[in-house]
């Protein structure tokens, strides 16, 4: 499907300069704001340490605009300063669009009913020690997110929400028992890259437990992971089929399920 651009979009793209720098108070002033915590008691010496760190980060001049004790032995800082770096914006290449069309709920159900002739089985969970179910619930539960109904709203999708702190072994076992077509995993806890380690462990377990082929009746289920901190890694690194970031809506996930699992379906096909 060819992506359509409005005249306003094209004009805006043409007006963007090829070389850019950060903006703080005035366009092109190269001012940035950053925050961090140092393991030292609050005080003048701590502020000087923060300024020294800012200087090593390339902020010159820099100033501490906020500092706050975080207990007796730690201090939180907000530092404001100028950087000397330029960004070659013209040389940055990024994929345009999501790569598949969004579909109305009725068409998602029609595609599943027409191609599969059965309900599409989706299992969702938060794995490891992650107990934050808000994200996975927003995608799966009928109440949904951002004005969109969750996957439970679809008559042709069977949703199994396993909840929080599910082990990888439990997830694989449930997926096999339910003959799952897709597995959705949410990871919010990111300390010490727990989300990366958990996802790689999960993907490796599914690749070992299933044939390599992906799709309904062809082998392992589609592996989808979501969370706010996956922007530094790619699907190939984690061993999953799709990564969704913050702000993802149920409609985006439903559209991807049709795109990835039902490639023979053409959007807009009559019933």
The region, left, alpha or beta by phi > 0 then psi within -120 to 50, assigned to residue 267 is: beta
Q: Which residues pair with 125 in a beta bridge?
A: 185
Give one DSSP letter per residue of 63-99, joined into a string. Answer: EEEEEEESSTT-EEEEEEEE----EEGGG-----S-S
Catalytic residue among 68, 106, 143, 246: 143
- Whole-angstrom Cα distance, residue 242 to residue 204? 15
Query: Does 106 participate in catalysis according to the annotation?
Result: no
Closest CA to 35 of 50, 45, 56: 50
Place of tokens 């599910």: 166
Q: Helices (DSSP H) in the chain: which residue ranges?
A: 7-15, 44-56, 105-115, 134-140, 168-178, 194-209, 235-238, 250-261
Question: Which 8-state DSSP code applies to residue 229?
Answer: T
- Whole-angstrom Cα distance, residue 68 to residue 51? 15
Measured in degrees and rounded to the nearest 5, phi and psi for residue 207 equal -65, -35
Largest CA distance in the chain: 72
Q: Which residues are catalytic?
A: 143
């Amino acid at each position: 499907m060819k992506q359509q651009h409005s005249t306003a979009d094209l004009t805006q793209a043409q007006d963007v300069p090829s070389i850019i720098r950060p903006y703080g108070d005035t366009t092109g002033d190269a001012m940035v704001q950053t925050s961090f915590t140092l393991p030292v008691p609050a005080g003048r010496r701590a502020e000087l340490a923060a300024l020294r760190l800012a200087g090593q980060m390339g902020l010159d001049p820099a100033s501490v605009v906020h500092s706050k004790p975080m207990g007796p032995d730690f201090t939180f800082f907000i530092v404001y300063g100028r950087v000397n770096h330029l960004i070659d914006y013209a040389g940055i290449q990024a994929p345009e669009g999501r790569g598949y069309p969004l579909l109305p709920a009725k068409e998602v159900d029609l595609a599943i009913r027409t191609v599969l002739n059965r309900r599409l089985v989706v299992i969702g969970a938060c794995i490891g020690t992650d107990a934050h179910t808000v994200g996975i619930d927003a995608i799966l539960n009928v109440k949904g997110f951002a004005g969109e109904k969750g996957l439970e709203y679809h008559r042709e999708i069977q949703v199994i929400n396993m909840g929080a702190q599910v082990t990888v072994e439990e997830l694989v076992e449930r997926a096999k028992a339910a003959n799952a077509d897709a597995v959705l995993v949410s990871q919010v806890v990111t300390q010490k890259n727990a989300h990366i380690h958990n996802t790689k462990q999960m993907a490796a377990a599914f690749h070992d437990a299933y044939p390599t082929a992906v799709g309904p009746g062809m082998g392992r289920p589609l592996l989808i992971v979501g969370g706010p901190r996956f922007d530094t890694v790619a699907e190939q690194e984690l061993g999953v089929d799709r990564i969704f970031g913050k702000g993802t809506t149920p409609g985006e996930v439903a559209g991807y399920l049709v795109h990835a699992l039902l490639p023979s379906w053409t959007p807009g096909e009559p019933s």
